Amino acid sequence: MNNPFVVTEGRRFTKVEEQMIWHKPASHKTSQEELRIASEIKNNWHDPEMKIMNVLLEGDAGSGKTQLARALSADLQLPYTKVTCFADMDKTDVFGALLPVVAADNDEDRELLETIYQTDSLQEVLTVIATHFQLDANQAKERLSKLIERIDQTETATSVDYKFYPSEIVRAMQKGYLLEIQEPTVIRDASVLVALNSALEPNGLLNIPTGIIRRHADCVVVITTNRNYQGNRPLNESLRDRVQHAEKMDLPSIEVMIERAIAKMNFTDHDYLEIMAKIIRLLDETAKANAIKGVAGMRSYFFWVNSLKQGQDPLESIFPKVLYKLTTDETELNILQTALEQSGLLSALQQVKNQQKMRQGRKISQAEAEQRNIVEEAESATLKNESAEEEKADITQEDAVSDEAIVSEKQAMMDVPEDGTPSEAESKSETASIDEEDKIGSAMSLDELAEIDKNKRKELNREVRKILQETIHAKEGTIVHRPKITEAALAQGKQLTQNVLPEVESLSRVINDLLDKEVSSDFSGGKYYGARFNPGHVAYGDLRNFDKKNPPNEQPSLALAVRVDESGSMLRDDRIETAKLAAVALSLFAEKIQISLMLYGDSADLSQREKTSIYSYKEFDDTYDYLAAKIATMKPRQNNRDGVPLRLLAEKLNQQTADTKLLLSISDGQPKALPDYTGEKAKQDIQTVLKDYERQGILFIACAIGEDKEQLRTLYGENNFVDISDIATLPQQLLHLIARFI
């Protein structure tokens, strides 16, 4: 592995020292502090005057000080060792001590004696000796006999030998290790570490009972200490002055906290991780502001997330994993809990918890799923992943999915059967067939249409990802569906057509007659003269006083994009049924007048990964085959995220070459989707779409058919709003509205 910060090239280590060099686990995330310190040490390593040998890491518990010290061992390739300070630490703990030893106190005998003490019989002792020294039975007996003789000689000896046992600090400085000195500020005697002052300088010296030891040139000392905790004292000024580099260690950013949690515990639910990280940071800030001595840091975060991974309720485990680590004082706990309640983070955590139920909801039958148009798209269809795998994945509509989803405020008053029992109409065959005479001019079979839709669906999902790439919806799961036609849909589509056909034919005849009269083969090229004098135009003074008829190749053109809100509240007052009639009427009218038509339905929050659901009933380049049957599959679903369908329709409408480009939105309420797509955020998103595309010639009209008319008027603007109070006449009103633009 390429390591740019190694400072020990050419140095040879023993096997034990090689094992002391820290190896970064897969869960380790390199921080900016680590890169900065390692780079500083490496860049100044060969400069005798500016060499960085002493580093101070000061910050809160759990901020990653020790992890950073170990990481520097891996970066610099220095053996790592540490010393943890304590209150009664004295100079013998810093330098080492002279202790009595027996003559037989050698490493080999001591290791063997410790093993023998754990046996229960002579035979076990001999077996241990034979195994330890790889001897046969006779040799083991001889080795035991010699050991007993040495012990007897030691017991009868009158002299006592002393040996100097150096401290870990001395050993690290002598051998050139990376030494971490933990919590030196807890030492009561502030002069203890001052004894290290001379050793902390370049070419420093240590004066120990056995002589003077010179500090190894490779030795790096990292001092890690908490900040202003109970029992801590200020770090001695003379010691602090000998530090060449210091870092203030705080809790990392939310993004880094999430990355580390994912790497450490392989828990990937981003919604949970983000809310829990925000809670940890809020508690940390609140504790500091109110002089609460406890700590809410990365350790608390990791163990809290781990308890969630093991199935515990995070709203319950927050107490033993986080709050009680901060304090158990009732007054202080009330302060922390009040801060959480006021922030709304606990409510957000509850909301995330509720969303998880969508993943374990009850499974419904294929027949019910088809009737309700609930489908499960391949994971590759979401916006979160754009790997090569998703291009190969076949987005299917064959798998039934859980239907337990977050119920919005719009659905709270709905009267929906809880047992999910399909009605007689719902029990019809999931597949459909059609007689040739019922194809209404189409030569395409339903199987051919299904195959076309399958390929079209994948293409549309790719287009959606591209269009939404730079928007606030880029990281939300948006999936495009193509409706599957059933026998029930064919029957309902036929009935819808019969209900609106008289009105459509009547209006289309009038429009076609008007268009025919506007077309003439004898027309003026300069518009200053023509077939009929127009005296009303004289007042303008531009000399263009003659009417100009349209030549055959200049017939007025219109491109129409229609969006139907399929949120749950459309169930009320048969709004969805009226919207179906209007959609069928518009499609028939567009086909007869030969104007370009695109028709989408949309909903939100069908599942955790499917934040927005788009139902493509007709694209501009689609034929009108079976369109009424497709429209018949419209139904009330969940929430609505208006900005997504409006942007998709406007972008595709903008690519048309028509003179007039009109986008019609049929909705009964304000936008509302999880987790926070409502209010000012939704308003800004929708108005951004209007602003972006109105400049490009797109005309927007929001048709309000529910109680939120005034709110929609404010949301879309007076110039983009039509109040359709009598939804029973919705099809007729929309037909006449569209006719005005032709």
In this predicted model, what pLDDT tens digit does every residue of 642-700 receive, in sequence order? 999 999 999 999 999 988 899 999 998 888 888 888 889 999 999 999 999 999 999 99
- At residue 557, does pLDDT exceed 90? no
The bridge status of strand 161-166 relative to strand 96-101 is antiparallel
Interval 537-552 mean pLDDT: 51
pLDDT at residue 407 in the model: 36
pLDDT at residue 664 in the model: 92
pTM tops 0.75, yes or no: no
The closest of 40, 28, 29, 32 to 4, measured between CA atoms, is 40
- At residue 76, does pLDDT exceed 90? yes
Q: Which two tokens stand for residue 638?
A: 């969940």
12 versus 555: which is more confidently predicted?
A: 12
pLDDT at residue 234 in the model: 74
pLDDT at residue 610 in the model: 86
Give the confidence band of 445 by pLDDT, cuts at 50, 70, 90.
confident
Give the confidence band of 160 by pLDDT, cuts at 50, 70, 90.
low
- At residue 416, does pLDDT exceed 50? no
Asked if 588 contacts 501 with a C-beta cutoff of 8 angstroms, the reply is yes
Lowest mean pLDDT among 206-210, 353-357, 377-381, 731-735: 377-381
Give the confidence band of 263 by pLDDT, cuts at 50, 70, 90.
confident
The overall average pLDDT reported for the chain is 79
pLDDT at residue 370 in the model: 52
One-letter amino acid at 76 equals L
407 versus 345: which is more confidently predicted?
A: 345
CA angle (717, 719, 721) in 5-degree steps: 70
Asked if 323 contacts 340 with a C-beta cutoff of 8 angstroms, the reply is no
- At residue 308, does pLDDT exceed 60? yes
pLDDT at residue 279 in the model: 94
Lowest mean pLDDT among 40-49, 68-77, 159-168: 159-168
- The neighbour count for residue 40, using CB atoms within 10 Å, is 16
- At residue 362, does pLDDT exceed 50? no
Q: Which two tokens stand for residue 324?
A: 């009680």
In angstroms, the CA 55 to CA 249 distance is: 12
Q: Is 733 exposed, middle or buried (0-12, 13-18, 19+ CB in 10 A)?
A: middle
Interval 266-274 mean pLDDT: 91
- The neighbour count for residue 711, using CB atoms within 10 Å, is 14
192 versus 406: which is more confidently predicted?
A: 192
529 versus 561: which is more confidently predicted?
A: 561
- At residue 194, does pLDDT exceed 60? yes
Give the confidence band of 535 by pLDDT, cuts at 50, 70, 90.
low
Residues 6+ apart with CB under 8 A from 629: 432, 485, 489, 490, 492, 493, 494
With a pLDDT cut of 70, the percent of the chain lying above it is 77
Interval 70-93 mean pLDDT: 90
Q: How far is CA 267 from CA 251, 465, 571, in A?
A: 20, 26, 39
Asked if 288 contacts 322 with a C-beta cutoff of 8 angstroms, the reply is no
pLDDT at residue 679 in the model: 87
Asked if 609 contacts 383 with a C-beta cutoff of 8 angstroms, the reply is no
pLDDT at residue 232 in the model: 64
18 versus 427: which is more confidently predicted?
A: 18
Interval 458-477 mean pLDDT: 90
Lowest mean pLDDT among 33-47, 286-300, 652-666: 286-300
- At residue 730, does pLDDT exceed 90? no
pLDDT at residue 441 in the model: 40
With a pLDDT cut of 90, the percent of the chain lying above it is 34
The closest of 409, 560, 391, 523 to 461, measured between CA atoms, is 391
Give the confidence band of 391 by pLDDT, cuts at 50, 70, 90.
very low
CA 307 remoteness from chain centre = 20
Asked if 265 contacts 25 with a C-beta cutoff of 8 angstroms, the reply is no
Q: Which two tokens stand for residue 338?
A: 């009040």
481 versus 379: which is more confidently predicted?
A: 481
Say how many Å lie between the first and final Cα of the chain, rounded.
69
pLDDT at residue 498 in the model: 92
Interval 279-301 mean pLDDT: 88
542 versus 614: which is more confidently predicted?
A: 614
Q: Name the packing angle between helices 270-289 and 345-355 (round to 10°).
A: 160
The closest of 83, 26, 29, 24 to 298, measured between CA atoms, is 29
Of 183-187, 237-241, 589-593, highest mean pLDDT? 589-593
3-state secondary structure labels for all residues of 42-78: HHCCCCCCCCCCEEEEEECCCCCHHHHHHHHHHHHCC
Lowest mean pLDDT among 82-96, 412-426, 617-631: 412-426
418 versus 611: which is more confidently predicted?
A: 611
CA angle (34, 38, 39) in 5-degree steps: 115
Give the confidence band of 356 by pLDDT, cuts at 50, 70, 90.
low
In angstroms, the CA 268 to CA 415 distance is: 37
- At residue 164, does pLDDT exceed 70? yes
- At residue 624, does pLDDT exceed 80? yes
pLDDT at residue 690 in the model: 93
In angstroms, the CA 681 to CA 258 distance is: 25
Asked if 535 contacts 525 with a C-beta cutoff of 8 angstroms, the reply is no
Give the confidence band of 223 by pLDDT, cuts at 50, 70, 90.
very high
